[in-house]
Amino acid sequence: MKYKEGTVMNEIIRAMEERRSIRSFKPDMPRKEEIDQIIEAGLYAPSGMGRQSAIVLAVMDKRQRDKLAQINASIMGRSGDPFYNAPVVLIVLADKKCFTGIYDGSLVMGNMLLAAHSLGLGGIWIHRAKEEFEMPEYKQLLKDLGVEGEWEGVGHCAIGYINGEAPEAAPYSTFNGREKTRSCDHSLPTLQVPYQIAPKSARDGTWSQSRETLIC
């Protein structure tokens, strides 16, 4: 994004533009206050009809974290650490009964990655949470934690201190060294579609469920 000379960039927009996926972490555990802030920022993400259906499973125990890494790698058919040595893995889960659950969970992921960057930490989205939570072992884990219902894994937000220098943000106009084109015909008229105002019960929050963070 280009700014006129003398214009001050909004700090949130700056963080959005400068955040990068980190693929090398130090083993040091971030402070609990930092992890709590990241999770809270994630749970403040927008959600369909204000349902706030997504939950976060915070994996900070090294034994559990290493086991999760092994299973995640096996789903890919590979060895090694898919979390790049990050000591914290925040797993976002979507309620299968909520038709916007995956979208809601994706916004939670984005908020947490942005929050980690704003606190000077690194983060990266790692997939295969869906496959993990189709396994009986992880379904049972949720039951053991008191989580009822059917849940689908959205993603892992691997968090930690950056090992080395963070990569610089590439200009949005480039992708893998090639020009990335965006086709958008601004000459098309804006579509006017009818809409309905959500019932007051939705707007005043009575549809909202409690936001949850689970620690293991």
CA-CA distance, 158 to 70, in Å (whole number)? 14
Residues 159 and 121: beta-carbon distance below 8 Å:
yes
CA-CA distance, 131 to 143, in Å (whole number)? 17
For the full predicted model, state whether its pTM sits above 0.95. Answer: no
168 band by pLDDT with thresholds 50, 70 and 90: confident
- Span 28-74, pLDDT tens digits: 999 999 999 999 999 999 999 999 999 999 999 999 999 999 999 99
SS (H, E, C) 159-198: EECECCCCCCCCCCCEECCEECCCCCCCCCCCCCCCCCCC
How many whole angstroms from its chain centre is CA 207? 23
CA-CA distance, 58 to 169, in Å (whole number)? 28
Domains and CATH numbers, the chain: 11-165+207-215 (3.40.109.10)
150, amino acid identity = E
- CA distances (Å), origin 173, targets 110, 141, 152, 177, 186: 21, 43, 34, 10, 18
Longest C-alpha distance within the chain, in Å?
57
- Span 183-216, pLDDT tens digits: 444 444 444 444 444 433 333 443 333 455 666 5
CA-CA distance, 20 to 102, in Å (whole number)? 22
Q: Which residue stretches of 3-123 are H helix?
A: 11-18, 32-43, 62-76, 101-118
Q: Which of 95, 31, 19 is nearest to 60 (CA)?
A: 31
Q: Is 205 helix (H, G, I), strand (E, B) or coil?
A: coil
Sign of CA dihedral 118, 93, 130, 61: positive
